[in-house]
Amino acid sequence: MTTSALLREKMEEGWNRPPVISPDGEGELLEVAMGPHHPSTHGVFRMDVALDGERVIRLKPVFGYLHRNHEKIAEGVSYLASMPYTDRLDYICSLTNNWAYALAVEKLVGQEVPERAEYLRVILGELTRVQNHASSIGFLIQEMGASGTPLMYAFKEREKILDLFEGLTGSRMMCNYMRFGGCRVDASPAWLDAVRKVVDELPGFADEFERLLCSNEILMARCQGVGILRPELAVNAGVTGPMLRASGVNYDIRKVDGYGIYNRFNFRVPLGDHWDVFDRFMVRLLEMRESIAILNQALKEVPGGPVMDPKAKIRGFRPKPGEAYGRIEAPKGELGFYLISDGGPNPYRYRVRPPSLINLTVLEDMCLGSNVADIVLIFGSVDIVLGEVDR
Contacting residues toward other proteins, per CB under 8 A:
77-78, 80-85, 149, 156, 159, 163, 166-171, 174, 176, 184-185, 208, 211-220, 314-315
Query: Minimum CB separation from other proteins for residue 223, in Å?
Result: 13
Q: How far is the CB of 306 from other proteins (least distance, A)?
A: 15
- Spatial CA neighbour of 45 closest among 59, 31, 55: 59
Task: Give the nearest distance from C-beta 157 to other proteins in angstroms.
Answer: 10
Between 51 and 83, name the residue whose CB sits nearer to other proteins. 83
Q: Minimum CB separation from other proteins for residue 91, in Å?
A: 12
**Closest-CA residue to 335 (of 41, 87, 169, 123):** 87
Other beta carbons within 10 angstroms of residue 72's beta carbon come to 10
Residue 276's φ and ψ, nearest 5 degrees, are -110, -175
Distance, CA of 202 to CA of 184 (rounded, Å): 27
> Shortest distance, CB of residue 311 to other proteins, whole angstroms?
17
Nearer to other proteins, 43 or 167 (CB): 167
Give the nearest distance from C-beta 183 to other proteins in angstroms.
Answer: 12
Minimum Å gap between C-beta 285 and other proteins is: 14
Q: Which is nearer to other proteins, 265 or 281 (CB)?
A: 281
Angle at 138 between CA 132 and CA 140, to 5 degrees: 100
Cβ distance to other proteins smaller for residue 145 or 369: 145
Residues 6+ apart with CB under 8 A from 128: 93, 94, 95, 96, 161, 331
Is 198:164 a contact under the CB 8 Å cutoff?
A: yes
Q: Which is nearer to other proteins, 177 or 265 (CB)?
A: 177
Distances (CA, A) of 105 to 32, 101, 252, 296: 44, 6, 22, 29
> Cβ 172 to other proteins, closest distance in Å?
9
CB of 166 to other proteins, least distance (A): 5
Separation of alpha carbons 317 and 183, rounded Å:
16
> Are 32 and 51 spatial neighbours (Cβ–Cβ below 8 Å)?
yes
Do 95 and 165 touch, CB atoms closer than 8 A? yes
Is the CB of 83 or the CB of 229 nearer to other proteins? 83
Q: Which is nearer to other proteins, 6 or 214 (CB)?
A: 214
Counting Cβ atoms within 10 Å, is residue 48 exposed (0-12), middle (13-18) or buried (19+)?
A: middle
Q: Which residues neighbour 344 within 8 Å (Cβ) at sequence distance 6 or greater?
A: 318
Answer yes or no: are the C-beta atoms of 374 and 60 closer than 8 Å. Answer: no
Which residue, 85 or 379, has its beta carbon nearer to other proteins?
85
Least separation, in Å, of the C-beta of 241 and other proteins? 27
Task: For other proteins, give the closer residue by CB, 173 or 293.
Answer: 173
CA distances (Å), 269 to each of 278, 289, 300, in order? 17, 10, 22
Nearest to other proteins of 74, 378 (CB atom): 74
Question: What b-and-e string marks burial along 184-195, b requiring 16 or more CB atoms within 10 Å of the CB?
Answer: bebbeeeebebb
